[in-house]
Amino acid sequence: MAEPAASVLDVRDLKTVFRTRGGEIHAVNDVSFHLKPGELLGVVGESGSGKSVTMMSLLRLLPAPPADIRGGKVLLNGRDLLAMSDEELRAVRGAKIGFVFQDPMTSLNPVFTLGDQIMEPLIKHLRMSKAQAQARAIELLELVGIPGAAQRLHQYPHQFSGGMRQRVMIAIALACDPDVLIADEPTTALDVTIQAQILELVKDLRRKLGMAIIWITHDLGVIAGIADRVMVMYGGQVVEHAPVRELFANPQHPYTRALLQTIPRITGPRTARLKVIEGQPPILTAPLTACPFRARCEHRFDTCDAVNPPRRAIDGQPIGQGHDVACHWVAPAMQEPADA
């Protein structure tokens, strides 16, 4: 079914709506992307941009009454996750796709030992015996760099520091050797030195295990260091997509450009004043009929109020393969800091 047979994951026109008492919230609007084996896709956007909801929708992890996946396809190795029965989907979650959540403090169960929590997917998905699972759990803990794994297995989450817990979360996500690892802001809650440890670990694991990774973050600095391709989200849709170097060297969307200028640098000349993106992200109570960024955009013109811009390629490659942007405004060629 998947035309570029190379993709492990192929998401097409995904659409998720939350039904609330105040009306509908259109959280994910026709999001399409794909992931090749061994690739790391960075997903950037601020809170409310739809990045986490998109990933939760893939695995249908959102509670069903408020959340409603209105359309789209999520093809994992050619099979549509959205069309699967709950039973089939359960076999995919944790086994084919691993998920690492943001907060290592709350995503481990405090009343079970780490051993229990790492072994659970092994016993459930891979039908391992307890002894096998235990051996594999020790192996996993060693893989993610936890010293004294055999003893640590019998300890509870509170006996671990934040960085260690995040390593455990990664170990659990990796337990069944998934094809895809989705990491939702896995380093945001951690200190910089611990964050650096985790980033090195992930780079290293990727080299060893060769799985594809989706890395969600709001930190462009993290993305710059690890991603192959980047997808920028705003208002529940993809506003720009490009290979990482291209995105940073030649950002097209006014939002991406502004985002790159709002953050101070640690090297180079000190910025006199930070650029500000005025206003707030939109609340998506209606389907988008105009550009979601228009209220905060400095390049806004008439068309922006009338038509929600579709993604258009800017380097001649098909959408989602090379550099594309969802914006009516045509950015002046190259050179980003020159303009106001």
Q: Please work out, in degrees rounded to the nearest 5, the angle formed at the alpha carbon of residue 219 by the alpha carbons of 216 and 224.
A: 90
d(CA 8, CA 185): 22
What per-residue string of b and e applies to 33-64 under the rule 16 or more CB within 10 Å gives b? bbbeeebbbbbbbeebbbbbbbbbbbbbebee
**Binding mask of the shown chain, residues 166 to 205, with x at each position contacting another protein by CB under 8 A:** -------------------------xxxxxxx-xx-----
Amino acid found at 101: F
d(CA 288, CA 237): 10
The yes or no reply on residue 266 touching another protein (CB under 8 A) is yes
Kindly state the smallest distance separating residue 217's Cβ from another protein, in Å.
Answer: 10
The yes or no reply on residue 259 touching another protein (CB under 8 A) is yes
Please pick, from the candidates 83, 91, 276, 330, the single residue that binds another protein as defined by CB under 8 A.
Answer: 276
In the complex with another protein, the residue whose CB is nearer, 69 or 105, is: 105
Kindly state the smallest distance separating residue 256's Cβ from another protein, in Å.
Answer: 11
Please pick, from the candidates 20, 109, 159, 161, the single residue that binds another protein as defined by CB under 8 A.
Answer: 161
* Piece in contact with another protein (CB under 8 A), picked from 32-40, 79-87, 98-106, 262-270: 262-270
Backbone angles phi, psi at 194, to 5 degrees: -75, -35
* Piece in contact with another protein (CB under 8 A), picked from 10-18, 113-121, 215-223, 314-322: 215-223
Tokens 């084919």 map to which residue?
Answer: 96
Kindly state the smallest distance separating residue 306's Cβ from another protein, in Å.
Answer: 25
Backbone angles phi, psi at 298, to 5 degrees: -90, -5
As separate numbers, helices (DSSP H) first and strands (DSSP E) second, the chain gives: 11, 12
d(CA 326, CA 311): 4
* Piece in contact with another protein (CB under 8 A), picked from 19-27, 53-61, 98-106, 272-280: 272-280
Residues that bind another protein (CB under 8 A): 46-47, 161-164, 191-197, 199-200, 218-225, 227, 244-245, 248-249, 258-260, 262-267, 270-271, 273-278, 280-281
